[in-house]
A and B are shown apart, each in its own frame.
Chain A
């Protein structure tokens, strides 16, 4: 099983749609969780951290289920500017203070007018 698996996509949705991304991780020692977005030919940028209690940032809601090792991202009222690749990222401790980010392969979202 891959360390971090995401929906393969791509997703094509109309403006205003709600879209959900799912992600599973295999290492139960994972410590922290993130969603990044990456625009074409650009660097990944942190979208939001993901907490067990769930967290929301405007139109974006992230959920974490540690028991199921499952992470989700919900985008409401999608905008053209949301078009990007969304990366699920898990921080796995290597012991002590060593942390390593492990990335999913990403899901491409295209929001159409």
Chain B
């Protein structure tokens, strides 16, 4: 099993550009989440999903969209990139919400 796969690993965007961060898991996990990690801030929840077709906002959802059309995939879309979105983004999945989560290896995004 590949676990949780995130692409790309690195990305540089110009302010105002849009892009999609991909996340896929092959463990048939219902729960998936997106986090961003910034120095001194810890990991903060952006959006999460408890199953296909169901998503909800986390702590810092502004500027991001998600959808969950399949169990396996949970893409994160940046609508109009801003320098404040420079961060490391982690996708994570779990069999059920109260189990531990498995994280992808992250996407390092720089917005210039």
Contacts and interface: CB of A to CB of B under 8 A. Distances in A.
A94 interface: yes
A34 B40 CA distance: 20
A49, A103, A104: most-surrounded residue (chain B CB, <10 A):
A103
Contact of B42 (A31, A49, A100, A106): A106
A9 B106 CA distance: 25
A97 B50 contact: yes
B33 A101 contact: yes
Looking at B45, B56, B92, B101, which has the most chain A CB atoms within 10 Å of its CB? B101
A98 B56 contact: yes
Interface in A64-112: 87, 91, 93-94, 97-106
A49 B97 contact: no
A34 B102 CA distance: 12
A42 B105 contact: yes
B53 interface: no
B56 to A, nearest CB: 7
B97 A91 contact: yes
B98 A44 contact: no
Nearest to A42: B105
Contacts of A46: 100-102
A22 interface: no
Interface of B: 31, 33, 35, 40-45, 48, 50, 56, 58, 90, 92, 96-106
9 contacts: A43-B104, A49-B100, A91-B97, A98-B48, A100-B33, A101-B33, A101-B92, A104-B42, A105-B40
Given A43-B103, A100-B45, A100-B48, 10 more contacts: A31-B98, A32-B99, A44-B90, A44-B103, A93-B97, A97-B97, A98-B50, A98-B56, A101-B33, A103-B42
